[in-house]
Amino acid sequence: MDQRNAAHTHVRPDGPGTTVPVGVEDPAVATDREYLRRAIALATLSPLPDPNPRVGAVLVSPTGTVVGEGWHHGAGTPHAEVEALRAAGAAARGATAYVSLEPCNHTGRTGPCATALVEAGVARVVYAQPDPNPAAAGGATTLRAAGVEVLGGLLAEEAEEVNRIWTRAVRLGRPWVTWKVAATIDGHTAAADGSSQWITCPEARADVHHRRALCDAIVVGTGTALADDPRLTVRHADGTLAERQPLRVVVGDRQVPPDARLRSDEAETLFLPGGDPRRALAELDRVGVRHAWLEGGATLAAAFLREGLVDEVLVYQAPALLGSGLPLVGDLGVRTLADALKFTITDVGLVGTDVRITMAPATKEA
């Protein structure tokens, strides 16, 4: 039975002969939802970005008392279930664990959470999102084999939204790629003389820094690195550096000068020779990048687009005309309108004096 449709269940799980009217949610299921929503809320306290998913856990005694809570504090730290078990201590025995993501079943920097729950004597586990990661999935099977009652898939969509990018990256087997571009309404990212600072307004640039901070890596080509000498850092409104900086990534074979700002100690920089987007993403996946923020330039963006490796497009469009200058994107190999790359607009908003348009490739999940 699909537990997400449990509101239409006639027979209660606490005994035969006890019925619930059609269209009325079983009180036991309503209670599960309540505690599971608390676990999902705790998951939002986990750091973003992080190579690991954001997870929250709540332990509830047989009498309905919350005896432990926890959330994942970042790579290398105890998982949410372990945090909750430590908080509960001996009270974990016989309790129900509510977890936003299926308890993991593998040993990495920490041990498998499914085993920890079994050893603590937890009697029942209710989780929302099944783990899409083949390396960590299978926790539900381990729990059931140990005699633990398991209910999975309840509020799965709500839980998945907390880990939207992480989930999609795991399913793709590579980092999720957001292509960000700032352009005039006639599609130029710089004037004929190469000047580009600033096409967009201060509010739009602040929005970019906020979104950069949520990514694992900022990617540019050597053309952009040489032409713009960018910092590619996350900065506050007063220009000071944010405490956490995404990995800076430069793709291409041209040498970046020793005095380039990308070689500063403001943030770590990874230089990837060659221009193959798939190889670049494979290397980023290897170092734990889940969300890559592609900033340019036109040639590198075109290479990603030709390979179908752009999952989201974020356009900041300024109300200005240049008439000539650097194009928004390079050659895509399109020779006729029928072959144009199509996108679905998922959001449009005004940011200061500029328009921010969010799009997804029409053939991809929006």
Q: Please report, in range form, the residues annotated as the binding site for NADP(+).
A: 182, 198, 224, 228, 297-303
Catalytic residue among 25, 34, 69, 81: 81
Distances (CA, A) of 340 to 318, 337, 346: 23, 5, 19
Annotated binding site for substrate: 196, 212, 232, 235, 295
d(CA 193, CA 174): 37
Can you say whether residue 82 is alpha, beta or left, with left for phi > 0 and alpha for psi between -120 and 50 degrees? alpha
DSSP output for 133-182: -TTT--HHHHHHHTT-EEEE-TTHHHHHHHTHHHHHHHHHTS-EEEEEEE
**Is there a contact between 100 and 162 (Cβ–Cβ < 8 Å)?**
yes
Distances (CA, A) of 262 to 15, 42, 182, 283: 65, 36, 20, 19
**Dihedral over Cα of 184, 188, 189, 192: its sign:** negative
Annotated binding site for Zn(2+): 79, 104, 113
Residue 157 annotated as catalytic: no
Catalytic residues: 81
